[in-house]
Homo-oligomer: A and B are copies of this chain.
Amino acid sequence: MVETPLKRKDMLGLRGMERAEIQTILDTAELMREVSRRKVKKVPTLRGRTVVTLFFENSTRTKTSFELAAKRLSADTLSFNVATSSVAKGESLMDTARTIYAMSPDAVVVRHGCTGAPHLLSRAFPWSVLNAGDGVNEHPSQALLDMLTMRDRFGSLDGLKVAIVGDIAHSRVARSNIFGLTTMGASVMVAGPGTMCKADLASLPVERAHSIDEVLPKADVLMMLRIQRERLGPAVLPSVREYATFYGLDLERVQRARPEVIVMHPGPINRGVEIAADVADGDRSVILDQVTNGIAVRMALLFLLLGRGEDAPTA
């Protein structure tokens, strides 16, 4: 049985989270990962609990990952379909939340375009809220799965040098990783086009590089961010081709990196833009390990937040 030091009912973000808490989540995720490797990929831990997914932005992979995590813990899942719901008829976030809460779910997994939406839901009700991405703020389960993937490869996060490359200013993945990694003793460098990096970088504990080439020889981890073509106007991004030239990770650049470097990407990837196809599929890539660890981390979060007093699965 895992003694849980998680002194919280929600997972809203990694900012301000204690080292011991993150450690517990990663350790629990390692146990959970074993479940998905079994023939019977299911433990009864959360039988009879209800987990609702409430996604105001589309994301099949994150939603699927949370749903599979819940099912493998035997919870019932319910996807609240925003597109066909009363939200489409103009209902407010809080009225939607009140209705869902009245249905007695144990946890709600929420993605919303506005920073702070999950925090609002958390303060309103005693349920557990799991932030699956809020505006440009945080995406904590993504950062936790990234950190588990790094720990798998390097044994520890302490002293690790992680370079994040791309649109830092608009990336909740980058922000959650910066908070989590620095808490765990890693150092973070960021590199990206100027217009993509302004933001509040000054206040974050990161080193700002001028180009991807500057970080290559130093980094243990190269984390490439997805270019959200649909989100950016022409002024921000002169051209996709130019982006690939200056910030894309191709094989030539990987060869200038440390031999033990690992290449990460939160997916879905734009082949030939932020990452070349042969790098994404190459032997330094751990992109699919990230997906596998995503389910493990989300199982750990659901277990730690909802399963207090339950036995963890044994390995």
Chain A residues in the interface with B (C-beta under 8 A): 36-42, 47-50, 58, 60-61, 64-65, 67-68, 71-72, 76, 78, 80-81, 84-86, 88-92, 95, 98-99, 101-104, 106, 230, 267-271, 288-292, 294-295
Knowing A38-B48, A48-B39, the reply to whether A267 touches B103 (Cβ < 8 A) is no
Is the Cβ of A49 less than 8 Å from the Cβ of B41? Answer: yes
Q: Give the Cβ gap from A79 to chain B, nearest Cβ, in Å.
A: 9
Given that A99-B288, A269-B95 are contacting pairs, would A48 and B40 also be in contact in the complex, using a CB cutoff of 8 Å? yes
Whether A48 touches B42, Cβ cut-off 8 Å, given contacts A36-B104, A95-B269, A104-B295, is yes
A41 touching B37 in the complex, CB below 8 Å, given contacts A103-B292, A268-B86: no
Known contacts A47-B40, A292-B104; decide if A78 and B64 are in contact (CB<8 Å): yes
Contacts A84-B58, A86-B60, A102-B292: A91 and B268 contacting too (C-beta < 8 A)? yes
Per CB-CB distance, the 5 closest pairs between chain A and chain B, nearest first, are A40-B48, A60-B85, A86-B268, A102-B291, A42-B48
CB distance from A33 to the nearest CB of B (A): 9
Minimum Cβ distance to chain B for residue A145 (Å)? 11
Kindly list 20 other residue pairs between chains A and B, CB separation below 8 angstroms, not including A58-B85, A68-B103, A102-B291.
A39-B48, A40-B48, A41-B106, A42-B76, A50-B71, A60-B80, A60-B84, A60-B85, A61-B86, A67-B78, A68-B78, A72-B76, A91-B269, A95-B269, A95-B271, A99-B288, A99-B291, A102-B292, A103-B291, A104-B292
Contacts of A103 in B (CB 8 A): 36, 64-65, 68, 291-292, 294-295
Check B47–A42 contact: CB distance below 8 A: yes
Residues of B within 8 A of A50 (CB): 41, 68, 71
Q: How many Å lie between the Cα of A251 and that of B71 in the bound state?
A: 45
Residue from the list B37, B40, B76 in contact with A71, Cβ < 8 A: B76
Most central of A42, A84, A104 by chain B CB within 10 Å: A104
In the assembled complex, the Cα of A105 lies from the Cα of B49 at a distance in Å of 23
Q: Are B86 and A267 in contact (CB under 8 A)?
A: yes
Distance A269 CA – B89 CA, assembled complex (angstroms): 10
Give CA–CA (A302, B64) in the complex, Å. 21
Alpha-carbon separation in the docked complex, A61 to B58 (Å) = 20
> Separation in Å of the A19 CB from the closest CB of chain B?
28
